[in-house]
Chain A
Amino acid sequence: MPLLERRFTIKANDFVKAGEVSIEVQGILKKIGFDPTLVRRVSICAYEAEMNVVMHGGDGEMMLHVEPEEIDLVCSDQGGGIEDIELALLPGYSTARPEHQEMGFGAGMGLPNIKKNASSLDVYSRKGEGTRLIMKFEVGDEH
């Protein structure tokens, strides 16, 4: 079973580099030649997860696993964690600070967007203990 794995580091509060990991993920999937719509869905999720680490989390990483039938993204950080996961998943809920809002972030649509675009999403987090998002995408799962 061919399994391609890539690991990318994400730095907290680095808004200059923010988004580069998702663009790399996007590039790899395009090179392999996955369906453009699938690539688009994965990149949307990668971007939202990456931005959350930059904005709300601490330093972290994104793991990309690629198999012919499934693409997985695992995004984890050692930041402050999420107090109430159910609340965080609600559209519009955001604890983004004013300076983030000035940059155009903090609409509270990131996690809902991931939920919409991934085949499955699992959020593991505890206040003070960081956050881990597992996003799976089935190849051929038309969304």
Chain B
Amino acid sequence: MSTDDGTSAGRPVHYVEVDEDLCNGCVLCMKACPMKAIRLRDHVARIEGVCIDCMECARVCPRGAIRGVSSVDVSLGDRSEDAVCPSTVLYSQFGEDFLPNDVLLGLRSMGFRYPFDQAYTAEIYEFAMELFIREQRKSENPPFPLISAVCPAVVQIIAYRFPSLLRHIPPLATPREIVTREAKQRLSAKHGRSPEEIQVLHVVPCPAMMIREADQTNRDRAVGINAVYDELKKSIQEIEEDRVLHYSGGIGLGWGISGGESAGIQAKSIAVSGIHETIRYLERVEMGLLSHIEFLECRICTEGCVGGSFNVADRYQTKQLVQRYVRMFGEERRVKQKYLMKLYREGWFQTERQVLPIRTENIDMTIAERIEQQKRVESILRELPKKHCGMCGSPDCRTFAEDVVAGKARLDNCTQLEHLGGKGVIT
């Protein structure tokens, strides 16, 4: 949804769900949420604010009541006609006996006739990114550090909390966008259908990679790695076919771990992983402290996409395996440079993705009114006990004060104020 002033209003779609039967209304998820998106209502956690699908809440839930959901059911759709584009993390889910090519062949024997290798398009992306960075170096006021758009949760955080950093996001297609285009183009030629008619199924490591509303202009779908895991594991063991589906070198295979993307881009770069570190670095970029860095890779999950919550294999074992692949397949890209150079010049790498600031404040209010509102927050906060117990249903006292001012909570929800002898009369 976009509004007149070029921002996006309202809550974006998210792919995290609370199972109300399992939730016992403890405060852990609410406190863990970096976006302060969760509230407790009638002893059940509810995601009410801007959720970026980071899964911090699910990680701390002792009852397993919070889960990521797929945008579609994997049993839906036609496996034989359409493309399947797994995240490179899928390659490292089945132990060291199975190579990336085996995993892609396994998808084929599951009935997905057209698997596409995203490790290869990752290398293509890196080539384009290098050219882009070189161009930026020559420009007057380069938006350094460029911030990778590969982790959708990072893009969401920027749109919501760091809108001034949107100009640091390169306008280039990500490996996933590239593989989608490639798949559509090739299969439309093959089946004699239009590219729009070709459906792409993404197999992704985390709910943030689910396809969002804005991307749903086509018929593409996404499922978690866990949704295909069991069936795929069986079919990998029964592969009979012998053909090459995996084309990348080690560089493209390294993408699953933090630092994998930047390792393949010749630039002054750093790689950060984990939600709190990511936010800390974005804050520093916003203060202008990292302008000597050219490329900043951030991943919401610690250790990178191998830490995604849809993965089945352990993140550190997976990391080990990814590193092994990188050594095995060699630290170089296997792309056709000349051809890509031509595509780059023709603007082929430009993305259609448009990221708008996410605004949740009341846009009908004037700045003066919002300052006034903030003052009321401060004055309520002064009266609150600052124990941050969460029993009011908001994650901490400040957020509770904000909720009261916004009309989303009542002051007498604070269980502590009563103990303070009716001090809670605030105007």
A and B associate:
yes
Residues of chain A whose beta carbon lies under 8 Å from any beta carbon of chain B: 2-4, 6, 19, 22-23, 26, 28, 30-34, 36-37, 39-40, 43-44, 47, 66-68, 113, 139
Contacts of B369 in A (CB 8 A): 2
List 28 A-B pairs, Cβ < 8 Å.
Answer: A2-B369, A2-B375, A4-B374, A4-B375, A4-B378, A6-B378, A22-B287, A26-B286, A26-B287, A28-B374, A30-B161, A31-B361, A31-B374, A31-B402, A32-B371, A36-B162, A36-B163, A36-B164, A36-B357, A37-B164, A40-B286, A40-B288, A44-B288, A68-B366, A68-B367, A68-B368, A113-B288, A139-B367
Query: Do A32 and B287 touch across chains, with their CB atoms under 8 A apart?
Result: no
A37 to chain B, nearest CB (A): 6
The digit string for B145-179, where 1 denotes a CB below 8 A from any CB of A, is: 00000000000000001111000000000000000
Cβ-based interface call for B283 (8 A): yes
Query: Do B370 and A32 touch across chains, with their CB atoms under 8 A apart?
Result: yes
Cβ-based interface call for B131 (8 A): no
**Complex A-B, nearest 4 residue pairs according to Cβ-Cβ distance, in ascending order:** A36-B164, A68-B368, A2-B371, A40-B164
Q: Give Cα distance in the complex from A19 to B359, angstroms.
A: 25
Contacts of B283 in A (CB 8 A): 23, 26
Residues of chain B whose beta carbon lies under 8 Å from any beta carbon of chain A: 161-164, 283, 286-289, 357, 359, 361, 366-372, 374-375, 378, 402
A110 to chain B, nearest CB (A): 11
Name the CB-closest residue of B to A23: B283
Q: Give Cα distance in the complex from A69 to B212, angstroms.
A: 38
- Given A22-B287, A47-B287, A113-B288; A33-B164 close (CB under 8 Å): no
Q: Give Cα distance in the complex from A22 to B280, angstroms.
A: 12
Q: A26-B287, A43-B287, A113-B288 are in contact. List 20 more A-B contacts (CB 8 A).
A: A2-B368, A3-B371, A4-B375, A4-B378, A19-B287, A23-B283, A28-B374, A31-B361, A32-B370, A33-B359, A33-B367, A34-B367, A37-B164, A40-B164, A40-B286, A40-B288, A43-B286, A44-B288, A67-B371, A68-B371
Contacts of B361 in A (CB 8 A): 31-33
Query: Do A4 and B371 touch across chains, with their CB atoms under 8 A apart?
Result: yes
Contacts of B288 in A (CB 8 A): 40, 44, 113
Contacts of A28 in B (CB 8 A): 374
Contacts of A39 in B (CB 8 A): 164
A141 to chain B, nearest CB (A): 14
Contacts of A3 in B (CB 8 A): 371
Most buried by A among B289, B366, B402: B289
Q: Give Cα distance in the complex from A10 to B372, angstroms.
A: 26
A117 to chain B, nearest CB (A): 8
A27 to chain B, nearest CB (A): 9
Contacts of A47 in B (CB 8 A): 287, 289
Q: Give Cα distance in the complex from A44 to B286, angstroms.
A: 8
Contacts of A31 in B (CB 8 A): 361, 370, 374, 402
Name the CB-closest residue of A to B287: A47
- Given A22-B287, A39-B164; A32-B357 close (CB under 8 Å): no
A29 to chain B, nearest CB (A): 9
Name the CB-closest residue of A to B288: A44
Contacts of B286 in A (CB 8 A): 26, 40, 43
Name the CB-closest residue of A to B286: A40
Q: Give Cα distance in the complex from A36 to B165, angstroms.
A: 9
A87 to chain B, nearest CB (A): 23
Contacts of B162 in A (CB 8 A): 36
Name the CB-closest residue of A to B402: A31
